[in-house]
């Protein structure tokens, strides 16, 4: 087996002894014990497994460890600061923007990727960015409202 | 039937860890019992524990799958007990700790279980007040309770908290008389919008679903699956998989599994199995010929309603309308596929499973493993959606069998392809309605014949003098042997089972007659409705929408529909835009009004309305299974299309206040009218009646072409 693969996970350096073709999804959920990242479809359609890689939303079910070597990975567990929720997390709670909660980590991280690139997107831009995240419970309208509340120019920031 | 487990009082208290435990049986609440098989620990339906720390644990066999009962049940307990919502801990879906429950489906949690829980909480308050009276040396009538503190009403400084009262107590109280519940006017917790108790765990990733549970030394199993239903395994070569490091292959009867400590490796081992299959030789209906198959199946019709003589009424009618409505199979498609983890310890197996039915699943696992039910514990953590689809629990039995066979904990987590293969789909259905109007534009008779969808939603509350409702080939909730099977694969309950199809047919037919009579569809419905609750929701939806009376098709694209389901009444108005050259339907706005009796959590009820409307857009516009016989062609979301952000309209939820009746079902009713309200709006936009769901662009175009032909409808 080749040497360990190193990357940054939620702000901390990690080193994983694994094959470079091993999928990020199973590495996160397995040896790294971060089960907030979900399996939904396995082929990159549903978005439940979305994580941030160098501030961009990526489908971890299609991402190998080689893809993230020496890069920065953020999962849903990496957003809150201690007890203080990230503004998007707080907005999802306040807007009731979830039901079963299974798609929620992917929704929040996809929204975070959008806001990192475009801090104040329009509602249309938000909907377009979220188009490829599937939710079966029908929380869509509240998800858009939650993201919109954080995207407003006067919204609080996390940092 | 196995002998029910009886816990002694001492065991029961130890189990719960001390404090004050209050139990209630639904037998104490006439007419509300859901407990057809009374057992464990007696015939107790609910219990709650007031701990020495003042926290209140509520134990229920119900499960949380997104519908919000974790929060609404906690509200009910907090209200009757006189404590804050934040001091309640819900313990759900654990067969060792919770009272027996048949399962979470049918919008029954609030309707059926709610009264038992409220009674238990109300009785707990009486018990605690009695203890407080003794402690404070006053009569119980002089006490009042707020925020978990009992105080003397006219001397509030004399007080004692629930925590102090529970400390050192080991008290078990059994409620046998119906407790007096609070009136809606006195509510402080119920009836107020509450933030979901599960929200924080779900936004941080801390919420555990079945596939997130870990046991030391666990293996991840993948099962060999047939390419199509009813294929027979002709030959199997497992040598390549067995040669892979760390892979265990298990073959026992129909079960062929490969296992590895890493899920990716187990998938690679599965791909290394060399299997040859004999495919079934059968005359197989597909997604187009299924309707003829259903209608010609010879399924016996059961009459569920009969008034007058519809056969004699037909020649007397001024105009007769005959329409046949169709809908294909629809998948549950929760974003969380079925998952389970099973592990043995000291001869007992614990199975964490994504299941809506932990107790029946416990029985199934016990039977499959040859164990007593007491030797099986099922725990349902959070479910990533259920919608009726997580009640067969094949994956839980598979995990338990494999754990028994290999002596290590085993996780079974289906991939999306397995989720489609083994879904028990919402059945395809055909409904024919023959109806007629008299010279005064009143509906004179109604003859409804349905195949495939079952009876739910086939009845309606319109005042029609002569009426007959017959249904055949209703769905079975238990697996059916192949020869008797109406459908080419398993079907099962899907959010408001059957009602989506039946209401689509009923409300389309009413709309069609209104249009033929030149009547406004709202006015036409109201003219046939003396039911006050239905009138109220129709008028509320119309007012919220800004409905303007006009006969359809007006060209505006506005539709209306209503139904009653699970004790609730619901009506909606929708506005659509139809691209008449492409056939695409864009839903711009839906206003949905619902009367669900006393509302426990208004925010939760609105979420269920919005969710039901959104999910309903799928069966209305885009969701339909493609298949040929047992060959399920859709195996992922690439060809099976769920509603997406771009397809979701502005949805406005209106709660029609009705505190005169107990809380009714909320999870299912709103979805029942979505197919109809969109179809009626498309008719209003185009003049083309939509007779088949989903209304794909191709079908809408075809309907427009038919409507434009001379004599077309």
Least confidently predicted of A122-136, A138-152, B466-480, B579-593: B466-480
Q: Does B217 touch chain A (CB under 8 A)?
A: no
Give A137→chain B minimum CA distance, Å.
5
Query: What's the pLDDT at B480?
Result: 55
Average pLDDT score over residue span B692-705: 98
Q: Does B415 touch chain A (CB under 8 A)?
A: yes
Give A26→chain B minimum CA distance, Å.
7
Query: What's the pLDDT at B35?
Result: 39
Q: Of B512, B541, B271, B523, give the one whose Cα is nearest residue B415.
A: B271
Candidates B262, B603, B637; nearest CB to A45 = B637
pLDDT greater than 60 at residue B332? yes
Query: What's the pLDDT at B475?
Result: 65
Using a CB-CB distance cutoff of 8 angstroms, which residues of chain A are in contact with residue B384? 38, 100-103
Are B592 and B570 a contacting pair, CB within 8 Å? yes
Average pLDDT score over residue span B562-574: 97
Burial of B458: CB neighbours in 10 Å, binned 0-12, 13-18, 19+: buried
Question: How confident is the model over B340-382, as pLDDT tens digits?
Answer: 999 999 999 999 999 999 999 999 999 999 999 999 999 999 9
Residue ranges in chain A modelled with pLDDT below 50: none
Q: What is the ipTM of this complex?
A: 0.97
pLDDT greater than 70 at residue B397? yes
Are B665 and B561 a contacting pair, CB within 8 Å? no
Helices (H), B137-175: 162-166
H or E segment and range at residue B363: helix B358-369
Q: Does B65 touch chain A (CB under 8 A)?
A: yes
How far is residue B243's CA from residue B679's CA, in Å, rounded to a whole number?
57
Using a CB-CB distance cutoff of 8 angstroms, which residues of chain B are in contact with residue A42? 415-416, 636
B637:A108 CB<8 A: no
Candidates B198, B262, B643; nearest CB to A101 = B198
pLDDT greater than 90 at residue B97? no
pLDDT confidence tier of residue B677, bands split at 50, 70 and 90: very high
Number of inter-chain CB pairs under 8 A, A vs B: 170
Q: Does B66 touch chain A (CB under 8 A)?
A: yes
Query: What's the pLDDT at B175?
Result: 66
Give B166→chain A minimum CA distance, Å.
30
B642:A134 CB<8 A: yes
Using a CB-CB distance cutoff of 8 angstroms, which residues of chain A are in contact with residue B612? 138
pLDDT confidence tier of residue B478, bands split at 50, 70 and 90: low
B645:A133 CB<8 A: yes
Give A158→chain B minimum CA distance, Å.
15
Q: Does B205 touch chain A (CB under 8 A)?
A: yes
pLDDT greater than 50 at residue B42? no
B196:A98 CB<8 A: yes
Per the listing, tokens 């989506």 go with B500
Question: How confident is the model over B270-310, as pLDDT tens digits?
Answer: 999 999 999 999 888 999 999 999 888 878 899 999 999 99
Q: Of A67, A140, A84, A138, give the one whose Cα is nearest residue A110.
A: A140
Q: Does B588 touch chain A (CB under 8 A)?
A: no
Q: Which residues contact B109 (CB under 8 A, 6 or more apart)?
A: B62, B67, B69, B72, B73
pLDDT greater than 60 at residue B33? no
pLDDT greater than 80 at residue B551? yes
Average pLDDT score over residue span B308-319: 96
Taking CA–CA distances from B590, the nearest residue in chain A reads A141
A141:B209 CB<8 A: no
Strand, coil or helix: B281: coil
Using a CB-CB distance cutoff of 8 angstroms, which residues of chain B are in contact with residue A30? 262-263
pLDDT greater than 90 at residue B101? no
Report chain A's mean pLDDT, rounded to a whole number: 95
Question: How confident is the model over A126-152, as pLDDT tens digits?
Answer: 999 999 999 999 999 999 999 999 998
Query: What's the pLDDT at B40?
Result: 34
Taking CA–CA distances from A137, the nearest residue in chain B reads B611
Q: Are strands B631-632 and B568-578 parallel, antiparallel or unpaired?
A: unpaired
Question: How confident is the model over B183-231, as pLDDT tens digits?
Answer: 999 999 999 999 999 999 999 999 999 999 999 999 999 999 999 999 9
Using a CB-CB distance cutoff of 8 angstroms, which residues of chain A are in contact with residue B636? 41-43, 45
Rg (CA), chain A: 15
Query: What's the pLDDT at B41?
Result: 40
Candidates A23, A76, A94; nearest CB to B205 = A76
Residue B232 to residues B221, B226, B275, B627, B630, Cα–Cα distance (Å)? 21, 8, 10, 19, 12
Question: How confident is the model over B426-445, as pLDDT tens digits?
Answer: 999 999 999 999 999 999 99
Average pLDDT score over residue span B103-127: 85
Using a CB-CB distance cutoff of 8 angstroms, which residues of chain A are in contact with residue B205? 34-37, 75-77, 105
Burial of B617: CB neighbours in 10 Å, binned 0-12, 13-18, 19+: buried
Q: Does B629 touch chain A (CB under 8 A)?
A: no
Using a CB-CB distance cutoff of 8 angstroms, which residues of chain A are in contact with residue B200? 85, 93
B559 token code pair: 């539709």
How far is residue A133's CA from residue A131's CA, in Å, rounded to a whole number?
6
Q: Does B547 touch chain A (CB under 8 A)?
A: no
A119 token code pair: 């801090």
Query: What's the pLDDT at B262?
Result: 96
B335:A38 CB<8 A: yes
Give A94→chain B minimum CA distance, Å.
7
A98:B334 CB<8 A: no
């Amino acid at each position: 087996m080749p040497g360990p693969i190193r990357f940054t996970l939620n702000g901390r350096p990690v080193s994983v002894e694994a094959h470079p073709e091993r999928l990020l999804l199973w590495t996160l959920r397995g040896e790294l014990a971060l089960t907030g990242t979900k399996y939904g479809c396995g082929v990159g359609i549903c978005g439940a497994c979305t994580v941030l890689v160098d501030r961009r939303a990526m489908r971890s079910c299609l991402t190998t460890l080689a893809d993230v070597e020496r890069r920065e990975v953020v999962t849903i567990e990496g957003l809150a600061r201690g007890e203080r929720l990230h503004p998007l997390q707080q907005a999802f709670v306040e807007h009731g923007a979830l039901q079963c909660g299974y798609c929620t980590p992917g929704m929040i991280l996809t929204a975070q990727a959008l806001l990192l690139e475009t801090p104040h997107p329009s509602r249309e831009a938000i909907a377009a960015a979220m188009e490829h995240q599937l939710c079966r419970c029908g929380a869509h309208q509240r998800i858009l409202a939650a993201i919109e509340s954080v995207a407003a120019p006067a919204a609080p920031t996390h940092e | 039937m196995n002998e029910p487990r009886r816990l002694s009082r001492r065991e029961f208290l130890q189990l719960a860890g001390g404090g004050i435990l209050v139990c209630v049986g639904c037998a104490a609440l006439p007419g509300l019992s859901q407990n057809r098989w009374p057992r464990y620990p007696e015939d107790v339906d609910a219990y709650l524990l007031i701990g020495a720390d003042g926290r209140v644990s509520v134990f229920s066999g119900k499960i949380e799958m997104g519908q919000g009962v974790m929060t609404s049940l906690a509200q009910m307990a907090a209200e009757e007990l006189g404590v804050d919502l934040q001091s309640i801990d819900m313990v759900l879906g654990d067969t060792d700790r919770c009272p027996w429950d048949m399962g979470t489906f049918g919008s029954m949690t609030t309707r059926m279980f709610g009264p038992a829980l409220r009674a238990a909480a109300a009785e707990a308050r009486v018990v605690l007040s009695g203890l407080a009276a003794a402690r404070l040396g006053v009569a119980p009538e002089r006490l009042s309770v707020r925020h978990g503190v009992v105080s003397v009403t006219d001397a509030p400084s004399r007080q004692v908290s629930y925590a102090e009262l529970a400390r050192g107590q080991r008290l078990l109280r059994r409620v046998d008389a119906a407790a007096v519940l609070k009136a809606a006017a006195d509510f402080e917790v119920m009836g107020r919008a509450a933030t979901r108790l599960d929200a924080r765990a779900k936004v941080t990733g801390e919420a555990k679903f079945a596939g997130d549970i870990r046991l030391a030394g666990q293996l991840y199993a993948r099962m060999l699956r047939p390419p199509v239903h009813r294929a027979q395994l002709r030959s199997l070569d497992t040598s390549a998989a067995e040669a892979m490091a760390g892979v265990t292959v298990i073959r026992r009867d129909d079960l062929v599994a490969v296992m590895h400590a890493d899920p990716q490796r187990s998938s690679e081992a599965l791909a290394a199995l060399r299997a040859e299959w004999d495919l079934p030789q059968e005359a197989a209906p597909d997604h187009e010929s299924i309707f003829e198959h259903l209608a010609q199946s010879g399924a016996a019709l059961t009459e569920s309603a009969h008034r007058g003589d519809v056969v004699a009424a037909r020649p007397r009618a001024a105009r007769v309308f005959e329409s046949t409505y169709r809908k294909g199979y629809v998948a549950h498609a929760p974003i969380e596929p079925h998952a389970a983890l099973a592990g043995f310890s000291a001869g007992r197996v614990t199975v964490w499973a994504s299941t809506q039915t932990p107790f029946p699943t416990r029985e199934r696992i016990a039977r499959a493993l040859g164990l007593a039910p007491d030797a099986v514990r099922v725990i349902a953590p959070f479910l990533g959606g259920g919608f009726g689809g997580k009640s067969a629990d094949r994956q839980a039995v598979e995990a338990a069998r494999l754990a028994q066979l290999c002596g290590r904990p085993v996780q079974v987590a289906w991939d999306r392809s397995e989720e489609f293969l083994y879904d028990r789909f919402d059945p395809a259905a055909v409904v024919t309605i023959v109806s007629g109007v008299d010279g005064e534009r009143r509906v004179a008779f109604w003859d409804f014949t349905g195949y495939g969808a079952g009876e739910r939603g086939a009845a309606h509350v319109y005042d029609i003098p002569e009426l007959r409702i017959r249904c055949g080939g209703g769905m079975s909730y238990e697996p059916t042997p192949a020869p008797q099977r109406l459908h080419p694969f398993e079907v099962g309950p899907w959010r408001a089972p059957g009602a989506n199809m039946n209401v689509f047919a009923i409300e389309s037919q009413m709309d069609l007659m209104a249009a033929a009579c030149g009547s406004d569809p709202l006015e036409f419905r109201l003219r046939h409705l003396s039911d006050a609750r239905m009138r109220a929701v129709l008028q509320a939806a119309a007012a919220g929408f800004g409905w303007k009376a006009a006969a359809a098709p007006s060209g505006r694209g506005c539709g209306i529909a209503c139904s009653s389901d699970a004790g609730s009444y619901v009506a909606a108005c929708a506005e659509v835009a139809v691209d008449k050259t492409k056939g695409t339907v864009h839903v711009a706005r839906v206003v949905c009004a619902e009367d669900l009796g006393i509302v426990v959590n208004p925010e939760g009820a609105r979420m269920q309305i919005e969710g039901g409307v959104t999910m309903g857009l799928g069966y209305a516009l885009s969701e339909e299974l493609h298949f040929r016989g047992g060959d399920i062609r859709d195996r992922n979301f690439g060809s099976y299309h769920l509603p997406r952000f771009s397809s979701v309209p502005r949805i406005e939820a209106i709660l029609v206040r009705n505190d005169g009746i107990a809380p009714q079902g909320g999870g299912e009713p709103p979805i029942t009218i979505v197919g109809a309200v969109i179809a009626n709006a498309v008719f209003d936009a185009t003049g083309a009646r939509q007779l088949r769901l989903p209304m794909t662009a191709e079908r809408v175009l075809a309907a427009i072409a038919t409507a434009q032909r001379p004599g077309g409808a």
